[in-house]
Amino acid sequence: MALNPVWANEIWIGTEYTEATGTTPGSWTYSKLCEGIEGVTFNSNEQNQQYFFLCGEGVAHNEVTGSAPELQVTGRRIAGNAAQDYIVGKQFALGTDRNSSVKIIAEGKQIVCDCSIGEVVSFGGNTLDVNTFSCTIRFNGKPTVTTASNS
């Protein structure tokens, strides 16, 4: 059985957006979110419809009908890290000012999706510890999933 350690995955956050011009579509410049990051948890937040049909003999039939995927990111605050600095800069913003894009490379796939950054924590912890860092990156819409390139 091949094991895939968490550190083999990559998370990139869109830190700068270039507006569309003429026939050129808008695009994000990404910064890697890894320095200081100790934990990442993916949650699909699935919505389920449950039915009890006569032929099921009392056992439910389930259909996943929606999801609200998110990444919960935890670690230590590293000032000067482009990805963390961008996220911390959103800490007191509201509405569309919290929007960005996320790119994830995991399990041989590249997942790209517009996102919203929430629950930003940029300081705190025990007296002798480096400040804590955490945030929740919530997908906005359906992600684009492709085979990851080796670049």
**Contact residues for 68 (Cβ-Cβ < 8 A; gap 6+):** 44, 45, 47, 138, 139
Q: What are phi and psi of 85, to 5 degrees?
A: -60, -40
- Cα–Cα dist 101/110, whole Å: 13
The residue ranges of every structural domain in the chain are 10-15+25-147
Nearest to residue 109, comparing CAs of 67, 138, 142, 144?
Answer: 144
Q: What is the pTM of this model?
A: 0.88
Per-residue pLDDT of the chain (151 residues), as tens digits, is 666 777 789 999 999 999 999 999 999 999 999 999 999 999 999 999 999 999 999 999 999 999 999 999 999 999 999 999 999 999 999 999 999 999 999 989 999 999 999 999 999 988 888 899 999 999 999 999 999 875 4
Strands 109-121 and 99-106 turn out to be: antiparallel
